Every structure is written in structure tokens, then in C-alpha cells.
């Protein structure tokens, strides 16, 4: 299963809405066995209930809400291994975690990050929103080089034993008011936006179905950036519970 080929398949999994801690643990398990060459590359696609995460060197002062406010809203704060500052995850946001052994695809970290950013931009374009890179500011931006830059996608990865985990988050129809809890990416005054906001679609609550539609655009875009074939059902057709069981079955022989 080692498959040292730049064009080897990547297995895409739509997991629906899943608690951050559960996805975090799953990523670490998958990254460990992927580093051993025991499973193929994986792409986890999902959304989270509301949570704040701090990168390994992040400054907690960029969390603007007090502990009482966060507790009332049921929002946990977690420090994790990825790079970057504080990030908000919540309903209406596509999160993608690529578990990729970089050397097998002849990838260095910078081109891998560029591939993630390009896939975010392509996903936005599939909905009619123009977005792209902004030099010196990882992620995906609307009007990134213009007078009114707005962040639509965040990026923070970790590589251990040559294998990536953590990844990207794209604001599809997330509640943008929740970003007022933080200085997004440690940048006071940063304006966050979403696909829905850029299209003028406001007033509707976040919907997992719309996140699944974004996942269906992101997965093939990311695979194309890697020159990889994509395996797995479209997020529009996948059963998240079945996909989670499939991942556990994939890991079971390794655990044994």
C-alpha cells in the first residue's frame, strides 16, 4: 500500500458535522499509520460545531470573548499542533483535512500549501465568487490585493514524519458574527466573509447541505492540484456514518 507515486489515489471522505475533538483524534491516528505507509492518502471533509482553536504558537489575547461568554455559548477553546493563530470553526464552514505523505507525491511544504490555496479559490469560483492568494497572508481572500481584502478561507497545517494533517476551512454560509469573538488569524480588524455573503445571500441559517456542495467542489479541485486520482463517493451522495465506519475499518487492521 506504500504507493510511491505522485499520481496515486487520494481517498475522499465526507463525514458531515463532527465534533472537533473527534476529528482531531481521527486525524492523528490516520497521520500516524499513513506515515508508516499502511494506508493511502486521505482527505477528510466535514464541518464542526462552534469551536475556537489556537495554533501551537498562537497568542490567546486574540480571543476577544471572555470565558463566561464562551461558556454560555458552549464554545470550547483548544490549542492544537498546527501553525497559525486563532481560528473559528462552526456550522456553515467547510473544513478539509488532507492526510498526505508528501514525499510520495514529490511535494515540499510550500507547493502543498499553494495546492490547498488554489483548491479553495477554485471552490469559490465554482459558486461564482472570485478569490485567491494574498502574499504574506496564508489562506484564501476576496479582493486580496485591493482596498477591501476579506478573508474567506483559513489555512493551518502540521507535518509530522513527512505526513500532513490539519488543513483548511472555507466559509460557505457560516454565521459571520461569530468571527467577532476573535481577531481572525491574529489580525485585529480583519474582515471575514463567506461565499453566501459575497453572493448577497443573507438571512438563512447555515446548512450542512450547502457545505457538502462546497466539499463536492473542493475534493476534485484539490486532487487535480496534486495530480492525483480521487476515490470515494461525492459528498452529495455519501453517508457520513458509513464513511466514519469505513475509516474505522481501515484503521482496525493496523491497530490489531
Would you state the pLDDT for residue 184?
84
pLDDT of residue 84: 86
Strand order in the sheet with 76-79: 76-79, 51-54, 87-89
In the prediction, which pLDDT does 91 show? 97
Active site residue 185: yes
pLDDT for the residue 5: 67
Can you name the CATH fold of 10-255?
BirA Bifunctional Protein; domain 2 (3.30.930)
Grouping H, G, I as helix, E, B as strand and the rest as coil, residue 79 is: strand
Task: Check residue 2 and give its pLDDT.
Answer: 44
pLDDT of 253 reads: 82
**Is the pTM for the entire model greater than 0.85?**
yes
Q: Which of 116, 168, 185, 211 is catalytic?
A: 185
Could you say which residues of the chain have pLDDT below 70?
Answer: 1-6, 255-256
pLDDT in tens, 187-216: 888 899 999 999 999 888 999 999 999 999
- Give domain limits for the chain: 10-255
Helix, strand, coil percent content, the chain, rounded in steps of 5? 35, 25, 35
At 3 the pLDDT is 43
Q: Which residues contact 72 (CB under 8 A, 6 or more apart)?
A: none
Order of all β-strands in the sheet with 10-17: 132-134, 137-142, 150-160, 163-171, 93-99, 41-47, 10-17, 230-231
What pLDDT is recorded for position 131?
A: 97
63: closest CA among 155, 191, 177, 179? 179
Amino acid at each position: 500500500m506504500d504507493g510511491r507515486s505522485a499520481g496515486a489515489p487520494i481517498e475522499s471522505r465526507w463525514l458531515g458535522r463532527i465534533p472537533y475533538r473527534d476529528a482531531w483524534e481521527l486525524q492523528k491516528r490516520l497521520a500516524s499509520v499513513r506515515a508508516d505507509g499502511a494506508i493511502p492518502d486521505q482527505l477528510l471533509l466535514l464541518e464542526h460545531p462552534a469551536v475556537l482553536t489556537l495554533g501551537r504558537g498562537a497568542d490567546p489575547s486574540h480571543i476577544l470573548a471572555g470565558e463566561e461568554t464562551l461558556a454560555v455559548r458552549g464554545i470550547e477553546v483548544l490549542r492544537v499542533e498546527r501553525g497559525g493563530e486563532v481560528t473559528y470553526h462552526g456550522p456553515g464552514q467547510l473544513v478539509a483535512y488532507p492526510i498526505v505523505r508528501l514525499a510520495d507525491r514529490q511535494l515540499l511544504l510550500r507547493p502543498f500549501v499553494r495546492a490547498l490555496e488554489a483548491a479553495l479559490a477554485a471552490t469559490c469560483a465554482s459558486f461564482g465568487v472570485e478569490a485567491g492568494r494574498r502574499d504574506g497572508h496564508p489562506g484564501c481572500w476576496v479582493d486580496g490585493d485591493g482596498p477591501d481584502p476579506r478573508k474567506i478561507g483559513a489555512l493551518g497545517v502540521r507535518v509530522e514524519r513527512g505526513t500532513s494533517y490539519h488543513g483548511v476551512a472555507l466559509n460557505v454560509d457560516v454565521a459571520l458574527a461569530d468571527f467577532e469573538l476573535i481577531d481572525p488569524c491574529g489580525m485585529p480588524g480583519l474582515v471575514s466573509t463567506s461565499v453566501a455573503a459575497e453572493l448577497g445571500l443573507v438571512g438563512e441559517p447555515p446548512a450542512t447541505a450547502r457545505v457538502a456542495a462546497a466539499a463536492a467542489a473542493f475534493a476534485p479541485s484539490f486532487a487535480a492540484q496534486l495530480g492525483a486520482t480521487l476515490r470515494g463517493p461525492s459528498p452529495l451522495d455519501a453517508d457520513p456514518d458509513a464513511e466514519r465506519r469505513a475509516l474505522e475499518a481501515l484503521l482496525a487492521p493496523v491497530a490489531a
